[in-house]
Amino acid sequence: MMRENDLETLYTTLTELSKSEDFDLTGATRTVAIFRVAVECGATTVGFPSMAFLMSKMLTTALGIMSGDETQTFEDILDDFQEQEQTSH
């Protein structure tokens, strides 16, 4: 089971790595590299359809945040995604 601290630690680690001056890369190139890792990880761990659903949720949330909707946050996406993964019996 995922712990909240693990998620925060991974996020912090990736954020620091993305800002590292050890790489002579543009911001766009760094973003593409991180996005590629996310897509590959998602496709192999949860499947491409679920990963595409998650990307859609994240894009919708990002657009909401950009438009000034204060109710939009990234914090609830994982909860929604985990509910979507459950199958009914």
Predicted local confidence at residue 88, as pLDDT: 45
Mean pLDDT of the chain: 86
Residue range 18-38: average pLDDT?
94
Tell me if 56 is assigned to some domain.
Answer: yes
The predicted-structure confidence for 49-74, as pLDDT tens digits, reads as follows: 999 999 999 999 999 999 999 999 98
Nearest to 78 by CA among 60, 57, 64, 62: 57
Give 50's contacts (C-beta < 8 A, 6+ positions apart).
42, 81, 84, 85
Percentage of the residues of the chain whose pLDDT score is greater than 70:
84
| Number of domains forming the structure of the chain | 1
Tell me if 59 is assigned to some domain.
Answer: yes
Predicted local confidence at residue 74, as pLDDT: 86
pLDDT class of 83 with cuts at 50, 70, 90:
low
Tell me if 76 is assigned to some domain.
Answer: yes
Domain holding 76, by residue range, is 48-89
pLDDT higher than threshold 80 for residue 19: yes
What's the predicted TM-score (pTM) here?
A: 0.72
